[in-house]
Structure 1
Amino acid sequence: MKHAFISILALTLAATALPAAAAPKKLLVVTVTTGFRHASIPTSEKVIAQLAKESGQFTVDFVQQPAGEPKGPARPRPGKGGEKDPTHQAALAKFEEGRKAHEAAVARWMPAMATALKPLGVENLKRYDGVMFVSTTGDLPLPDKPGFLDWIAGGKAFVGIHAATDTFHGFPAFIAMIGGEFLTHGPQVSVDCINQDPAHAATRMLPARWTVFDEIYQFKNFERAKVHGLLTLDRHPNDKTPGDYPVAWAKRFGTGRVFYTSLGHRDDVWDPAAPEGGKRANDPKLSKLYQEHVLGGILWALGLAPGDATPQGTAR
């Protein structure tokens, strides 16, 4: 009986000595837009949910586009008669009427947008370890924009994908946080991304030069000395002029961590099974690498994976 008691006691002590498994981090994923809306957003939502489930290291909640978004009229193109052709002028007048009606409909819809974004209020954000903007665009009506940035700077994670830099153009503090502002892009093109940090969680799976076919952004208000470069180009994506054209980076914001990648316009970048208009331009193996790239960036931003954020000061 004494030996049985000692054995039970030993097992109890051993069990209490084992470290408790860490609870998964919580990530709030935002795919809301007030500007251009990318067709790849549903694919990205599916992939991110899959990455969270498979990794087991974080869970995701989504803030998605509210129903009922008004559709705007398409601007008519001039025919053979040119801009001054009476038929085209009549079509323009009809378009202008439709545009004004669309603006009024959007104004009526915006309260639904504000309601959808209430989860980004400071009190609710206390439930989360990070926020992810996936191809967000426009001036999103957040409950408290300065409070949102303070929350990140207080030690939280921010992950931005593709058009996240095409968000809050009139909010310099957001641009400073994310590290750059979308300027323009040319036609989709195949580029050789240079891996600037093969040791970082977001790029350790990538080769020294990684070829991707996608829509490649150029930026303004980007300072190389303020970010830790992860992927870059050594020439313009379209006209091939030599230079420094950043693609992905990491940085600190206060005690928070920021990861951004401009890749992710196309479905076949996100998903190895997705056709792009019936035809893929990227091999399914590339999509798997892109998913690992995004997952590594998420885990790093959440403090779950290694990686430097020290600015290199140069493109290489």
Structure 2
Amino acid sequence: MKLKFFSFLNITLLVVLASVSIANAQVKPRLLVFKKTAGYHHGSIPLAALAVMKLGDENGFLVDTTTDANKITESNLKNYTAVVFASTTGNILNEAQQADLERFIQAGGGFVGIHAAADAEYNWPWYGKMIGGWFAHHPAQQMATLTVVDKNFIATKMLPTEWKRKDEWYHYKSVNPDIHILINLEESSLTYNKNGGDDAFKMGASHPIAWYHEFDGGRVFYTGLGHTDESYSEPLFLQHLLGGIQYAIGKNAPLKYAKAKSQRVPGN
């Protein structure tokens, strides 16, 4: 009888351990990389998606990619810890999809915007505040000097205080004053085409190019870097991007859609 009892206990223990192992596997964060464009299409978008997938393989999170806006729905977003908008441009979501992205963030979901994610949804005020600022203009691609103003953050702690690199340097409008600036672009290091009107878009001494903030219940990270193909084989940029993703993932708390407050009805 004792032998049977201990055998039963052993089997039960194995079942419990197996269940715990399966449960642990199920809580691995999953990201959705959204790649749709309705304006300028950056050639580096596929490289951005592949880079996030590789970062996921190396750092313990799963990655799906899509250009289908029908994936931006509450029923599908429940499967994800964070979404990554990889140089999305133009009006890419309908009103129902906009409402569902709002609910995803309000339920605790994370958001990562790469480069032209700031060049999207200009008629959606919530998105402008969430992303932190809209694209206004850029001079020609060139080397620039960046100042890392916060090195105590997961996406910047590995960066030099003065960082020189080549990219396409966005100038922004309607910048949300509540963002926490991580990196500042030094405009004095840029060459402007005065005849082309570049001067009109200068932002001055405060020219954020990467930032984060908690917004409407979720965590948002944005980097203006990442236009060039070369960015996605650049170790420092990839570490910067990984840190932003890890911030957006947070503690991978289950999304609480029941507490999401948006009751926006499409058309209103």
TM-score range, shorter chain: 0.7 to 0.9
Q: Aligned-pair distance for 1:118?
A: 0.7
Partner of 1:250: 212
Deviations 1:278-311 (A, max 9, x none): xxxxxxxxx0111111011001111059xxxxxx
Partner of 2:65: 62
1:223-242 residue pairs with structure 2 within 5 A? 223=176, 225-236=177-188, 238-239=190-191
Deviations 1:207-262 (A, max 9, x none): 11111110000000003x30111111243552488511111000011220000000
The 3-state SS of whatever aligns with 2:136 is strand
Which residue, out of 237, 240, 257, partners 1:293? 240
User: What is the percentage of aligned positions where both structures have the same residue?
Assistant: 37
Range with bigger deviation, 240-249 or 260-269: 240-249
Partner of 1:72: none
Q: Which runs of 5+ in 1 are unaligned?
A: 65-115, 272-286, 306-316
Deviations 1:152-201 (A, max 9, x none): 12210010000000000111111011110000000111112111221211
Partner of 1:93: none
Q: Per chain length, whose mean CA-contact separation is higher, i.e. which structure has more relative contact order (CA < 8 Å, sep 6+)?
A: 2
Whether 1:36 aligns to 2:34 is: no
Whether 1:121 aligns to 2:83 is: no
Which residue, out of 303, 306, 314, partners 2:250? 303
> What's the TM-score, normalizing by structure 2?
0.79
Matches of 2:13 and 2:160 in 1, distance apart?
A: 47
1:184-195 residue pairs with structure 2 within 5 A? 184-195=137-148
Partner of 2:52: 48
Aligned Cα root-mean-square deviation (Å): 2.8
The 3-state SS of whatever aligns with 1:173 is helix
CA separation of 1:237 and 1:217: change in aligned 2, threshold 3 A: farther
1:260 partner amino acid? Y
Partner of 2:232: 270
1:161 partner amino acid? I
Matches of 2:250 and 2:118 in 1, distance apart?
A: 22
Partner of 2:125: 172
Partner of 2:157: 204
* Structure having the higher Rg: 1
Q: Aligned-pair distance for 1:14?
A: 11
Matches of 2:217 and 2:149 in 1, distance apart?
A: 23
Counterpart contact for 1:236–1:245, Cα < 8 Å: no
Whether 1:138 aligns to 2:90 is: yes
Matches of 2:165 and 2:63 in 1, distance apart?
A: 27
Matches of 2:251 and 2:163 in 1, distance apart?
A: 25
CA separation of 1:211 and 1:129: change in aligned 2, threshold 3 A: same
Partner of 1:158: 111
Q: Aligned-pair distance for 1:129?
A: 1.2
Counterpart contact for 1:29–1:60, Cα < 8 Å: yes
Counterpart contact for 1:235–1:244, Cα < 8 Å: no
Q: Aligned-pair distance for 1:144?
A: 2.4
Structure 1 segments of 4 or more deviating over 4 A?
12-20, 239-242
Deviations 1:20-58 (A, max 9, x none): 5462111110111010000111211211111111112x1
Counterpart contact for 1:230–1:248, Cα < 8 Å: yes
Q: Which runs of 5+ in 2 are unaligned?
A: 193-201, 253-268
Matches of 1:296 and 1:50 in 2, distance apart?
A: 14
